Amino acid sequence: MTGGGDQGAARVLASFPKTRPAMPPRLQAIYVQQYKENRAGATPAASLSQRLERWLHLQVARDAVGGAPRATLELGAGTLNQPPFEPAAAPYDIVEPFADLYRDAPERGRVRDVFADVTEVPRERRYDRVTSVASLEHICDLPMVLARSAQLLEAGGALRAAIPSEGGLLWRLGWTLTTGLEFRLRHGLDYGDLMRHEHVNTAREIETLVRALFAEVEIRSFGLGRQLSLYRFIAARKPRLEVAAAWEAMFAR
């Protein structure tokens, strides 16, 4: 069941679960270091990327600023670079399998509960917001994660996700001429190998799944439309719970 008989969604679903391409050994050796440098803006290219990525963080946090505290679950929280944009008073839980990324983060004290996987979140728990910043493109079993997330939303709650425009011309050109070039000069390695390992889902695939799972979907682009953009923001409401249940059964681990 894909929701509304959407054949596009059926084709995308058929590609899951995905298998992550292996990284060359030299890239594996510096993988965690590279991730933390990117998140900390520790190199000129990473610093530029962080400045641009403020758009992602601001879009996701926009609904929470200035209102009543809203319970949030963040998917793929990484080094906790989203909480500084969020109101401090609201309950804030995260899903992040790699404890080394968040353990020493300054914002760790703001996090209520940590889950290594979305399936660990108690089924009776409910959130006003399920958020994600540059993480949905990384998830090999994305339909399962989206299905469980939809079921955790309060009535009237929303999925709010910001993603790179993976698969688009401007996105590829952007990282090739900045982070990719810097990475080759510093390490003598192809940054494309890292991107292929990390970004297993395109922006179009993510949009297709979200549209099949939610009745109301809004999309904004940072650029000249979807195809000539660096980033996209997705806000989705009114989950089709029957679709979520079908996807969960289809991709049960």
Domains of the chain: 7-16+25-129+143-250 (3.40.50.150)
Give the confidence band of 5 by pLDDT, cuts at 50, 70, 90.
Answer: very low
DSSP strand E in 46-112: where?
72-75, 92-95
The span from the CA of 198 to the CA of 206, in Å, is: 15
Three-state DSSP state, 100: helix
Kindly report, residue by residue over 100-143, the tens digit of the pLDDT: 889 999 999 999 999 999 999 999 999 999 999 999 999 999 99
- Has residue 232 got a pLDDT over 90? yes
The span from the CA of 220 to the CA of 163, in Å, is: 11
Which residues are 114's β-sheet partners? 94
Positive or negative CA dihedral for 5, 6, 11, 15?
Answer: negative
The answer to whether 118 touches 148, Cβ cutoff 8 Å, is: yes
Rounded percentage of the chain residues whose pLDDT exceeds 70: 95
Kindly report, residue by residue over 41-90, the tens digit of the pLDDT: 668 866 777 788 999 999 999 999 888 889 999 999 999 999 999 998 88
